Structure 1
Amino acid sequence: MSVESAAVVPASGVQHTITAGDYEATIASVGATLRTLTYRGRDLVVPFEADTVRPFFRGATLAPWPNRIVDGRYEFRGRPYEVALTEPSRQQALHGLASWLDFSPVESADSWITLSATIQPQQGYPWRIRVDTTFALGADGLTQRVTATNLSRDFAPWGTGPHPYLVAPHGELDEWSLTLPAAHVLTVTPDRLSPVGLQPVTADAERFDFREARTIGAVKIDHAYTDLVRDRDGLVTVRVADAQGAGASITWDSRCPWVQIHTADQPGGAGAPGHRAGLAVEPMTCAPDAFNDGRYPFDTGLAVIAPADSHKASWRISALS
């Protein structure tokens, strides 16, 4: 494993490179971010340069909530809280508090590394949570494991997930095929993407139903899915592939009952950097706005961590050949 000198730390943080067989990954310390992942030299995720402020949460570890808290306000165990609105254009609190923390290495070897950071008590989230995450390469791809430990004296709300943009080696996103084994999609308001309610993917099949592999086309998606169809081992796999069947997949277990899909549409359209450059596939332990669990007639998956207890989740990105 190679680590860049602290004297020349780039904008995305200290760079940690791990290798195993045909796979190589670079994890940037800011946000425990998967900056690059390659298989036999080809990208499996949209990369970015090391000395760049990470764009669009690309590859970040999201915690203590993924996705949004509507209006940055929520109530937990009878008390109101308000966090900063980090998505000003929509007046939402987006993707938690850990994505700009600098994670420090704890243990490492050639093919794996464990990084750690602590979310300190602060306005709107008065709990201390240690976040440990391990990135490990093997013959089956890159597995990330996230463990959250509650170092506070009180119960703490919690959610996590990754933010990779998967890519196929040939063609454009519109030409790639998507396999997404999910029966329901969470509808949202068009302006702020605030949750509205669940509907079957068949209600707008052209846009949302990818239970059978088909071409993505020109549809725009920035929605969470649930009612995931699992295999005999209890795993869900989402696949993105080009016309030759090459691409990337991400697999996870029942600890992530939700997944956000985003076609990376940018306000500036085709001329904007990163526009439809990859497909964000974000397994999540909880739904958007899960901190407002009481508002919704469905199970948001919100976790509550008792003092001194831990919560674990994991996912694996693999090459499709």
Structure 2
Amino acid sequence: MSAEYSLKAGGYEAVVTERAAALRVLQFEGRDLVVPFPEGGPIPDYRGIIAAPWPNRIADGRYTFDGVTHQLAVSEPERGTALHGLAYPLDWALKEHDAGSVTLTCTVGPTEGYPFVVDLTAHYALSDSGLHCAVTAHNAADVAAPYGVCPHPYLVAGSSPLDEWILEAPVGAFLEVTPDRLLPVSLASVDGHEFDFRAARAIGTTEIDHAFTDVTFDGGLARLSLRDPAGTGVGMSWDESCRWLQIHTAEKPAPIPSRIGLAVEPMTCPPDAFNSGTDLIRLEPGATHTASWSIYSL
């Protein structure tokens, strides 16, 4: 069974697993802020994981970097893509743990399709203002490495159905994608579109599994809010390292429970960035990169 680490501070409680450095539980005063998953079992739907060294999808698992073509394992065979990086199935090593924080580390690569070596450190800390997470990547090899990262929490506003939750998201454009493989086609404005949540409104029956950009940052942070009409809510903020945001309304075929949480994933780059190069981080030998985000009760 994978080890896990409990955190408590300021009315918040969290549980982080060594498997994928995943956020298994986050509660405020006993109320779930993310969709949890059972202790000791598999992680369903990538809940709470750290997706690195790439977020989202790479078409056909194939990309070219510095003139060399690489072939990754296709981990999402139904769409023919490599999904959510290499850190997900790994057990991360414990570096530090106290009552309110935990730091975990792992190394990705060299492996099939990713002949690079990137050391990852995930630091989770609770305070009166919520859960704060930072992921730092360090290139431990002597060649540059392509890199991207995102968290994968499913936020929970309250006990009402997701259709009734009120979303406010500071994003002005989204990537249109192919319906079968969810791969990027073109960038479009949210103006006049059902994906425009710049002003808070109910999600309704809208189905979303798209990457957004044109993010509004205020004081170096972007802020998303998700509220239940019953009065509870959850917020998420992230720094300017993440200029993309994946939102997914978590549709599932019956009899699997559907739309039980809203996946909110601040990303450093869009889907298939290993091919497009859009906002792809080129991590030079010895260089580091840090991305951070927070989740809190409203």
TM-score (norm 2): 0.98
The equivalent of 2:28 in structure 1 is 39
- Cα distance between partner residues in 1 of 2:85 and 2:239: 22
Are 2:266 and 1:283 aligned?
Answer: yes
Instruction: Report what 1:152 is aligned to.
Output: 141
SS at match of 1:202: coil
Matches within 5 A, 1:41-60: 41-60=30-49
- Superimposed CA distance per residue, residues 75-101 of structure 1 (whole angstroms, 9 cap, x where no aligned partner): 111111110110111011100000111
- Note the residue ranges of structure 2 that are not aligned, 5 or more in a row: none
Write the deviation string for residues 66-122 of structure 1: whole angstroms up to 9, x where unpaired: 000011111111111110110111011100000111011101211001000111201
TM superposition shift of 1:133: 0.5
Aligned equivalents of 1:106, 1:154: Cα separation in 2: 26
Question: 1:200-259 CA deviation, whole Å, 9 max, x = no partner?
Answer: 0125x22x100000000011100000001122x121111111003411111011100000
**Cα distance between partner residues in 2 of 1:194 and 1:161:** 17
CA separation in 2, counterparts of 1:170 and 1:127? 44
Aligned residues: 298
Which AA in structure 2 matches 1:303? Answer: I
User: Does the 8 Å contact 2:100/2:127 carry over to 1?
Assistant: yes
3-state SS of 2:274 partner? helix
Q: What's the counterpart of residue 272 of structure 1? A: 256
Alignment RMSD (CA, Å): 1.0
SS in 2 for 1:261: strand
| Partner of residue 4, structure 1 | none
For 2:262, the aligned partner's letter is L
Q: 1:113 aligns to what?
A: 102
1:129 maps to which of 118, 123, 131? 118
- Rounded to whole Å, the distance in 1 between the matches of 2:287 and 2:8 is 32
Residue 234 of structure 1 corresponds to: 220
Give aligned-pair identity as a percent: 48
- Out of 244, 249, 253, the residue aligned to residue 239 of structure 2 is 253
Structure 1 stretches of 4+ moved >4 Å: none
The answer to whether structure 1 residue 88 and structure 2 residue 77 are counterparts is: yes
CA deviations over 1:4-61 (Å, ceiling 9, x no partner): xxxxx2xxx2110011020000001100000000000000000011122000000000
User: What TM-score does the superposition give when structure 1 sets the normalisation length?
Assistant: 0.91
Distance 1:91 1:156 in 2: 23
Secondary structure at the aligned position of 1:56 is classed as helix
1:6 aligned residue = none
**Alignment partner, residue 289 of structure 2:** 311
Q: Secondary structure at the match of 2:276?
A: helix
- Structure 1 gaps of 5+ residues are 1-8, 295-299
Distance 1:131 1:15 in 2: 18
